Structure 1
Amino acid sequence: MEELWGYGAALGTVATITMDGWEWAEARLLGLPRRNYAMLGRWLGHMTRGTFLHDNIGQAAQIRGEAALGQVAHYGVGVVFGIAFLTFTGFSWLALPEPLAALAFGAVTVVMPLCVMQPAFGFGIAAANLPHPWAARARSLVGHLSFGLGLYLAGLLLRWIA
C-alpha cells in the first residue's frame, strides 16, 4: 500500500507539473489566459461555510489564502489521480509505461472540471454558460491530456530511476 501511495503520488505530481507547464506554454506562446486556481481555493473555502454552488465564483467573496489553497488543492487532486491511475493499471504499467493508457486516463479526468467544478462555479455543465463553451471544453480536454502525457513521462522517469 505504501508503494502505491508513493509511486502514485510521484506520478500525479509529475503529471500536474506537466499540466502546469503546458498551461504556461499556452499562455506564453498562444496568449491564452492562465487558469486561476484561486477560484478553486475560493470554492473550497466557501464549502467550509456551507456554500457549494455559485452563480459566478468570480463574484463570490474572496477567501483568505485562496490562491495558495487552490494550488495545494490542484496538486492534491493530481496526486489522488496519480494513485487512482496506478490502482487501475497496476504496478505492471510501471515496468513498461504505455502512453495510450496514460492519455486515456488523462482524458477521463476531464469529467471533474466539466461535470463538477464548472457547474459549481456557475459556468454550467461543460461550460455551457460561458460565452465560448466549446473553447473552454477543448482547453479543458487538452489540459487533461497533458496530465496524461505527464503520467506517461513520470512512468518513464520512474522506470529509468528504478
Structure 2
Amino acid sequence: MLEFLFSAVLIGAGATALLDLWAQFLKRAFGLPAPNWAMTGRWFGHLAKGRFAHEDIARSEPVPNELALGWLAHYLIGILFAAILLAIWGLDWARNPTFLPALIVGLVTVGCGWFILQPGMGAGMASSRKPNANQIRAMGIAGHIVFSIGLYAAALLIR
C-alpha cells in the first residue's frame, strides 16, 4: 500500500507539474492565458457549502484562500488520476511503464473537465457556453495528452 501511495503521489505530481510547464510555454510562446486556479478553488470552496453549479464562477462569492485551494485541488486531482491508473494497471505498470495506459487515462480524464468542472463553473458542457468553445476543447485535449506524457515520464523517472 505504501508503494502504491508513494508512486501515485510522485507520478501524479510529476505529470501535473509537466502540465503546468506546458501552460507556461503556451502563455509565453502564444500569449494564451494560463489557467486561473483561483476559480477552481472558488468552485471547490462552494462545493463544501453544497453548491455545485454556478451561472458564472467569476461572479460567485469568493472563498477564503481560493487560489491556494485551487492549486491544491489541481495537484490532488493529478495524484488521484495517477492512483486510478495504478489501480487499473497495477504497480507493475509503475515498475515497467508503457505509454498506452497513461494516454488512455489522460484522454478519459478530459471528460472530468468537460462534464463536471466546466458545467459546474458555468461554462456549460465542454465549454459550450463559451464563444471559443472549440479552442477550449482542443486545449483541454492537448493538455491532457501532455498530462499523459507526464504520467509516463514520471513513472519512468521513479522506477
User: What TM-score bracket applies, with the shorter chain setting the length?
Assistant: over 0.9
**Counterpart residue number, 1:49:** 49
Q: Secondary structure at the match of 2:39?
A: helix
Aligned partners of 2:64, 2:96: CA distance in 1, in Å?
44
**Counterpart residue number, 2:78:** 78
Report deviation, 1:95: 2.9
Q: Secondary structure at the match of 1:102?
A: helix
Report deviation, 1:132: 1.1
Cα RMSD (Å): 1.0
Aligned partners of 1:39, 1:116: CA distance in 2, in Å?
14
Aligned partners of 1:95, 1:73: CA distance in 2, in Å?
27
1:34 aligned partner, one-letter code: A
Q: Secondary structure at the match of 2:142?
A: helix
Q: CA offsets, 1:27-73, max 9 Å, x none?
A: 11111001001111101111222221000001111112100000001
Give the % identical residues. Answer: 38
Q: How many residues align?
A: 159
**Counterpart residue number, 1:158:** 158
Aligned partners of 2:94, 2:41: CA distance in 1, in Å?
33
Aligned partners of 1:77, 1:95: CA distance in 2, in Å?
22
- TM-score with structure 2 setting the length: 0.96
Q: Secondary structure at the match of 2:34?
A: coil
- TM-score with structure 1 setting the length: 0.94
Aligned partners of 2:60, 2:7: CA distance in 1, in Å?
37
**Counterpart residue number, 2:30:** 30
Aligned partners of 1:83, 1:115: CA distance in 2, in Å?
21
Report deviation, 1:145: 1.0
Q: Does residue 6 of structure 2 align to residue 14 of structure 1?
A: no
Q: Secondary structure at the match of 1:104?
A: helix
2:149 aligned partner, one-letter code: L
Unaligned runs of 5+ in 2: none
